[in-house]
Structure 1
Amino acid sequence: MKILGVDYGDRRIGLSISDELSIIVHGLPLLEISYMEEGVEQVVSIATEKNVDEIVVGLPKNMNNTIGERAKIVLDFVEKLKTCVNIPVVTWDERLTTIQAGQMLSDVKMTHSQKKRHLNTVSAQIILQSYLDAKKRTNKI
């Protein structure tokens, strides 16, 4: 089962994809967008091209588990995405993934702007790996 991981942002969308066995996750090229519908179109195109079975979108909940403004925007993106694909689109708690991704990139020899461009992709990889790990723990893969 091939799954696409998505870290949605207003200007950048980080993407990751699992292998057919849902074991290994790797990053895909960063999407640069100008508006939400463009992001939906590009994610749908990649999901179709890569023949994925499911899409997992990181949901940036507040630390107290509430839905804030940023999460509402992501949920709007998810609803638009669901109308364009015939596969499951689910959200997954992405709290602290950007911080974790930043820590992972902190020791890499890149300029600040290069690290910033990789941050969303690494976040998408963390989101998807976390989702897969949870599914394995509950034997749902």
Structure 2
Amino acid sequence: EVTMAVDYGTARVGVAVSAGLLARPVEVIPNRTPDQLLAQLQRLARDELVTRWLVGLPTNADGSEGEQAAVSREFAQWLADAQPLPVFLWDEHGSSQQAQAQMIAAGMKQKRRKEMLDAWAAAQFLQQYVDRDGWGVEQVWPLEGEKDG
């Protein structure tokens, strides 16, 4: 299984991938139009032989969901409807802070950190997903009995 993680934002979308052991940041896509975003995500998915999507779900420190979580849920449903691969949601709480710390520890310059933060954040929550063997993931699609084939 190859999983592509998406850190969705209204301005930028971070993408990371894992074939089962380690997650790696791939790129940050400017979020201009839905069609353009879908085309770029599908290109990356083809290049990486992706079999599933993992969309980050931003939660508050107490586990509750705010406005950005609703936006991410809407994006995950849109992605599920727009292409054939299954889509899952994963709690991404703290991933940006962890990514920032990792990039600083790796000696990345500030400009590069800013450019790549969303992809590294996606890699952070994807690594958590891999380390926990997917335990606690929320399935968006396929729901039981839907999209057979």
- TM-score, length basis structure 1: 0.85
Runs of 5+ unmatched residues, structure 2? 137-149
Residues 68/36 of structure 1: CA separation in 2 closer, same or farther (3 Å cut): farther
Q: What is the aligned-residue identity percentage?
A: 26
Query: Are 2:22 and 2:130, in contact at CA under 8 Å, matched by a contact in 1?
Result: no
Shift of 1:36: 4.4
What's the RMSD between the two structures over aligned residues?
2.0
What per-residue deviation string (whole Å, max 9, x for no partner) do you get for residues 73-121 of structure 1?
A: 1111111100122221001000011111111122344432221112111
Contact 2:3 2:51 in 1 (8 A): yes
- Do the aligned partners of residues 87 and 27 (structure 1) sit closer, same or farther apart at CA in structure 2, a change above 3 Å counting? same
Q: Which stretches in structure 1 are left out of the alignment for 5+ residues?
A: none
| Cα gap change, 1:90 to 1:136, in 2 (>3 Å) | closer
Deviation at 1:11, TM superposition (A): 1.6
Deviates more, 1:84-93 or 1:102-111: 102-111
Alignment of 1:1-141 (within 5 A): 1-19=1-19, 22-135=20-133
Runs of 4+ in 1 over 4 A off after TM superposition: none
Size of the alignment, in residue pairs?
136
> TM-score, normalised on structure 2?
0.81
